[in-house]
Structures are given as C-alpha cells and as structure tokens.
Amino acid sequence: MPTVNIDKLALFEALERNYTSQEFFELCFRFGIELEEDTSEREIAEKEGSKSAEHLSERALLKIDIPANRYDLLCQEGLARALRVFEDKAKPPVYKLVKPADGKLQQIRVLESTQKIRPYIVGAVLRNITFTAENYASFIDLQDKLHNNICRKRTLASMGTHDLDTIQGPFTYEALPHKDIKFVPLNKETEVDGDELMEMYAEDKHLGKFLHIIRDSPVYPVVF
C-alpha cells in the first residue's frame, strides 16, 4: 500500500475546512484511506535518520496510506478532488478526447527496431496547462510515484513529459545502437552518445538505480 506525504495546509484549503487530526482521521476512514500520521517534513526526516533533517522546515504534512489501485490519490491535487467529490463539494470530473482546433493530430511513427527492447509507446497532448513551482513539483512527484508503483520501478513502463511549444512533430520512436544516439541531456550543455549517457547517469542518485533495465541491450529506445 503506497504512502503519500501531503501538504496539510494546501489540502485543507482545497477542502475548504480546517480539520482536527481526529476529524480528518474519521474522514479518511469513511472514504477508505488511512491517516497514518499528522507530522512535518523535519519530523519525518528525523525518524528516517536523515542528516539533513535540521535544515528542513516544520511544514505540516499528513502521512496517508493509499490503496494500491487508486493511483489518482497519489498527489495532493488528486486526493483533494476525490475527497471533495466524496463530501459532495464537487462533481466527478469527466474526461474526453478532443481534436485540436486545426484538426491535425500529432503523429508518432514506431519503427520495427523497438521490438527488441520496448515495443510499445503511447502519447497524449494536454493543453492549457500552466505550471507554478508548487504544482510542477507535485506533478514530478506524482510521476515518480507512478514509476515506482504501477510501472514497477520503470520495468513495465516509463514516462516523459515535454513542452510541446519547444518541440515539433511528427515524432519517430526507434531503437538505435548506443553510439548512434547523439543529444544534449536535460540541464546539460555537452552532446553525448548512449554510452556516455549511461556513464553520466550512473552517478545520479535518482536515475542510476534504473540503468540496469536497458544497460546490457545492444540498442536503446529513443524518440526523435
């Protein structure tokens, strides 16, 4: 069962009510989730033995256990929306597929070479999205949680998000030999190939643990 740390103030603002710990515990129980702890960033870090605990804030956090099949509850925004619907403060969202105003759909051409490593790809365009520092951090955190849960630590699937204003289709999904891959990684200025990319990310605490998934393959999947 996944556990999420939710910003208490932001959640209660979205729910339009300041709950006591007992009141929120009871709401969670009725909804089918469990409030494990009413805590803070620093307190969580201290319990985990983190050396950086003293530098963290006393920002109030709610540590909540989420059912394994409710991936929509893994972020503050999704949890707030679900609880608002449960409390009859909002209607359930309705999602629908719409065509762009010009009628031209983006295209991804999938080459046969991808059958050797990651044979499937899915793409979607989300329009009229505005990120702030706060909701962008929440978005990235949700993406990480999805990677670790439904994506089985990226062994089943992995996700990437890009600004459509800075790229242009049609796109091609293919698998190439390491040396044939040339690009400049995010937040870097130097072009690297596939082997150099692996060496660079081997030292990355976040991404290094996933490299084994494709490292030994003669080809790596790429989107151009």
Q: Please write the tens of the pLDDT for every residue from 44-69.
A: 777 776 666 566 677 899 999 999 89
Provide the CA 201 distance to its chain's centre, in angstroms.
19
How many Cα atoms sit within 13 Å of 135 on the Cβ side? 7
Predicted TM-score (pTM) of the model is: 0.84
Domain boundaries, the chain: 3-86, 108-223
Q: Tokens standing for 137?
A: 């951090």
pLDDT of residue 18: 95
DSSP-derived letter for residue 171 is: E
Closest C-alpha to 138, from 28, 18, 5: 5
Span 108-223 CATH architecture: 3-Layer(bba) Sandwich (3.50)
Cβ atoms of residues 149 and 71 within 8 Å: yes
End-to-end CA distance of the chain: 37
Per-residue pLDDT tens over the stretch 154-180: 999 999 999 999 999 999 999 999 999
For 3-86, which CATH class? Answer: alpha beta
